[in-house]
Amino acid sequence: MGIFSETSGYYIEPLCRNTSNPCNDLRKTRFEKLTRGIYSMTSESAPNSYIFINEAEFLDNHMGAYLSAFTGTSNAQILSRTFRNHPYSMWSYGLYLNECSGYHVENNEFFENSQSSPLNIGLIVNNSGTSPNEIYRNRFHNLKFAAISQNENRNYNPPLHLGGLCYKCNKFIKDESQPEPNRFDFAITYDGASTNTTGIAKNQGTYLSGTSFAPVGNMFQPYPAASHYDFYNEGNPVDYYYHAQTGIQYYRMQP
């Protein structure tokens, strides 16, 4: 295990190996070929256990980073990281957010280091609750499950149904020349009985009236196989707002 922590906060950032400004020679923190790269837990009794992880590399680990119960002032920021999974088993993952809320997950890349059928999971969000949360501008490719949302990540508050987990501006393809598609892009699942808060936010993007329009802007592979799922949903239904015209030849905005 790389880092194990309970009710503690820490920062992980790259080291600049010269004196240039801005730095042009960064050495990133690397967690490589471990059972667990990071395993961190906190509680309400530790309000300042804030975690900031920037430009780190998680390479060929069985489980990349697991964060549990980081909410409120003890939230977590995971920015500009690489999660490259080694195909150990179907339960290997890059990042797992358990009972977390108020997180900032942006500009990360999740993929499996395999040329055969992928087995692994990129991102798992479990029980982030009814508060507004976003997974924003990340890239997922060559995974069995790109992004799994488990159990309660939804606010039941009719008629607007505000709050819950929303995925915005994520790309489920490597690039147009080498797509490396996932088997499932979104998978929304739950354990036990379904409730009003099972699933993700009802409004994935918004459309209020007139020009008040904020589509989610996720990009999917252009020509998916018959066995592929853009959106596999066992939870409550969602309203998914997408761009009417993409202007981009190689991607699909509509799942």
Do residues 50 and 17 touch, judged by C-beta distance below 8 A? no
What pLDDT score was predicted for residue 212?
67
Please spell the DSSP secondary structure of the chain, one letter per residue: --EEEES--EEE-PEE-S--SS-S-EE--EEES-SEEEEEE--TT-TT--EEEES-EEEEESEEEEEES--TTS-EEEES-EEEE--S-TT-EEEEEES--S-EEES-EEEE--SSS---EEEEEE---SS-EEEES-EEES-SEEEEEESB-B---TTTT--BEEEES-B-SS-SSS----SEEEEEE-SSS--TTBBS-SEESEE-STT-EE----BB-SS--TT-EEEEE-SS--EE---S----SS-BS--
Q: Residue 51: inside a domain, yes or no?
A: yes
Which pTM value belongs to this model? Answer: 0.94
In a domain, residue 25? The reply is yes
Which residue numbers in the chain have pLDDT < 70? 207-212, 245-249
204 occurs within a structural domain: yes
pLDDT of residue 246: 60
pLDDT at 110: 98
Residue 57 structural domain: 3-240
pLDDT for 222: 86
Tell me if 245 is assigned to some domain: no
Give domain status of residue 189, yes or no: yes
84 found inside a domain: yes
* Inside any domain, residue 252: no
Q: For residue 187, tell me if it sits in a domain.
A: yes
Instruction: Work out how many domains the chain is built from and give that number.
Output: 1
